[in-house]
Chain A
Amino acid sequence: MTSDGGSVYVADTGNGRIVRFDPAGNVIGVWAMPTYTIVANGQTINGRIEPRDVAVNGSGRVIVPDANTQSNLVAVLSPDGGLQQVFGSPASDPGNPCALRGPWGVAVSGSTLYVVSTAENQVRVFDDGAAPCPTVNFGPGGGIRVPGGPDRKRPKIKLKGLPKKCARRNFTLKVCASDDVQLRRFKLFVNRRKVANQAVNKQTWNVRVNFPVGRVRSQLPRGTSVRILIEVRVTDTAGKKARVKRSFRICG
């Protein structure tokens, strides 16, 4: 658990996620934890980072130690949920300067990261200006990826609320993403002009857009209409993109 001064980040171990709250208790961000496959000593272990603690640095990177004692990993996630770095050692790895044993606590001060390596009774010190930790050896066929990794399909989105005929009143366009998608960016174009380009830092995410039809309609001569083209583009945390185009008319 940690704070950036204005909000609180909670390591939700049982649900496998980091949740960010504002001081009033509203959820303002969720980070899903990466899943991994470790192949060592003839065994294959499939697991997920179980956040034991969390730290956040000045650029919003979220640092998570894994409570699972068979992995000994620390994951570094970007503000939008992407996996930026993982270090530690899930198996015996002599000579690895970043090998850890039970990393259960983390703290950040400036560019320095302190990792409490519980089982070896040490506080290990890392810095993002130092030579980076070596790539983690997950074994043959092993690896780590964030939910919605490269093998997933494109995100599915639907637009709801568009007028079927002429729009004569203000309406709300609802952009809905399927439950298994973790989106990181949303763009909205109206008549090919970009009017929204927003980073999304939530696992569960949908968006609602208010269209001021009345304001446009008041400028239209009676008996005329104008066609409005809507395009929504989204990108999920795996970099997969999807777009939906629709149109409607505003009648004077």
Chain B
Amino acid sequence: MRRIATVLSAGVLAALALPGAACAFGPVGSFDGSGSGSGQFNHPQGAAASGATVYVADTAGNRVPFYSPSGTFQGNLASPPSAPQDVAASGTLVVAAGPSQVARSLLGVPLPAINAPGASYGIAIASGSIFVGDAQAGVIHKYDSTLGTFQGDIGGGSSPSRRA
């Protein structure tokens, strides 16, 4: 038996509503392909969708191209880090790049990079913070999304993950 994790108060709980019935995904298309031309990919690994823009971490292409939702190439992120692994966008655009720094930009203007330790393979933005998955240490490093200052670590299990 495990330790107790949740506390309820008898008589005061209401049933939690579950989301509506699920649909199933079906194919509607694809965009770009192998190559080094504008908007083409070379071993892409991560993507993020924000509003009407889709960003792709094109790892071996060393760039972060972005597209319209229908797949029209719109441009490349200025000053991308080498070997981008993952990307997240929520106002600020952030790019994790393995052992390289975490790149940040706002409205296309590069911001000071974050010198995250370890190997940054996953990234997300939530509640004003940037969360960087360090696959080497098996922890999540947390930074202020505006200032880029370190706010602490999350996790730290014994089994480091690729996108921890």
Contact = CB atoms under 8 A, between A and B. Distances in A.
Contacts of A52: 162-163
A202 B9 contact: no
B1 interface: yes
Given A13-B163, A128-B24, A206-B2, A121 B43 contact: yes
Nearest to A134: B26
B133 A207 contact: no
A205 interface: yes
A53 B41 contact: no
A28 to B, nearest CB: 11
A167 to B, nearest CB: 13
B33 A190 contact: no
Interface string B141-164: 010000000001011010111111
Interface size of B as a range: 35 or more
Interface residues of A, number: 87
A109 B49 contact: yes
A123 B30 CA distance: 6
A157 B14 CA distance: 22
A197 interface: yes
Interface stretch (B75-83, B100-108, B120-128): B120-128
Interface stretch (A3-11, A139-147, A218-226, A239-247): A3-11
Contacts of B31: 122-123, 125
Interface of B: 1-13, 15-16, 18-20, 22-35, 40-51, 54, 56-57, 67, 69, 71, 86, 88, 90, 122-127, 129, 131, 133, 135, 138, 140, 142, 152, 154-155, 157, 159-164
Interface of A: 1-15, 19, 21, 23, 25, 50-54, 59-61, 67, 76, 78-80, 84-85, 87, 97-98, 104-109, 111-114, 116-118, 120-133, 158, 174, 176-179, 188, 190, 195-199, 202, 204-212
In the complex, the 4 A-B pairs of residues with the closest C-beta atoms, listed nearest first: A1-B122, A130-B26, A109-B49, A3-B126
